[in-house]
Amino acid sequence: MTANLTLAHLYPDLMRTYGDRGNVMALASRARWRGIDVDVVGVTRAERIPAGADLVLIGGGTDRAQETIGEDLRGRREELRDLSGAGTVVVGICGGYQFLGHRYVDADGVAIEGLGLLDVTTVAGQPRIIGNVRAAATFGGRSFELFGFENHGGRTTLGSGATPLATVGRGQGNNGRDRTEGAVQGSIVGTYLHGPVLPTNPAFADALLARALAAPGRPDAALAELDDRLEDEAHRLARARKR
């Protein structure tokens, strides 16, 4: 049986400031190179996520874009909870990561409700956290180096229900204090790293794909090895970047 993968990209028209279309392309390409049929579906406001989607990605955006999609995204709480409960991998990047948490408290002290799918809370702070990140990450039983660029004003704190995606060796990560970066809770993943992050971190992309393809009720689809010489060189260059 030929494996297939449905990848839903939420708000590709609005939440794409940090190259998140590149993340979608990396996931789709790495699946197709292995002979997996991939259906990439853009889902914007008032549109349903495809039933049985295997992977959902929510990217980053400007404050105005986040305000624009806020009500629509909060209306998807049960939809995303049901999907993730069935094994769908949900990935939030930067602003998308913050939305997956309980709340974001802005610079004026106003609390903006999130989805509550990740046990994290974000509070705006100064100065912005900006720079290159090197981290040691774990997801889906796979461990890998993680490199990317962070640019966020929020300070995110994890509750007991979430675990860090990575431990930061260089950079500031979630909050500049505890050396954590991102969060994982079941099949839900959040990260501040962009650039986009997945083309230069093929091991992270493959960890997401492997988890999505291992959802209950799916046919087995082991990930074959790929010729990653170009990706490995991009990864090496990311490692060599100075702050």
Distance CA 63, CA 132 (A): 22
Confidence of residue 42 (pLDDT cuts 50, 70, 90): very high
Q: Which residues contact 178 (CB under 8 A, 6 or more apart)?
A: none
pLDDT at 94: 93
pLDDT at 239: 78
Whether 213 has a pLDDT exceeding 60, the answer reads: yes
| Mean model confidence pLDDT for the chain | 92
Write out pLDDT tens, residues 181-206.
999 999 999 999 998 999 999 999 99
Whether 1 has a pLDDT exceeding 50, the answer reads: no
Confidence of residue 218 (pLDDT cuts 50, 70, 90): low
Q: Determine what percent of the chain is predicted with pLDDT higher than 90.
A: 75
pLDDT at 242: 66
Whether 169 has a pLDDT exceeding 60, the answer reads: yes
Write out pLDDT tens, residues 5-35.
999 999 999 888 878 899 999 999 999 999 9
CB-based contact 201:233 (threshold 8 Å): no
Q: What one-character-per-residue DSSP string does the chain give?
A: ---EEEEEEE-TTTS-TTSHHHHHHHHHHHHHTTT-EEEEEEE-TT-PPPTT-SEEEE----HHHHHHHHHHHHTTHHHHHHHHHTT-EEEEETHHHHHHSSEEE-TTS-EEE---SSSEEEEEEEEEEEEEEEEEEEETTEEEEEEEEEEEEEEEEE-TT-B-SEEEEES-TTTSSS-EE-EEETTEEEE--BSSSSTT-HHHHHHHHHHHHTSTTPPP--------HHHHHHHHHHHH---
Q: Determine what percent of the chain is predicted with pLDDT higher than 70.
A: 96
pLDDT at 136: 98
pLDDT at 221: 62
Mean pLDDT of 62-84: 89
Least confident span in 62-66, 79-83, 113-117, 234-238: 62-66
Confidence of residue 66 (pLDDT cuts 50, 70, 90): confident
Can you state the angle between helices 202-213 and 20-32, rounded to 10 degrees?
60
Mean pLDDT of 139-144: 96
Burial 65-94 (b: 16+ CB within 10 A, else e): bbebbeeebeebeeebeebbeebbbbbbbb
Active-site residue list: 94, 194
Cis status of the peptide bond prior to 219, with omega within 30 of 0: no
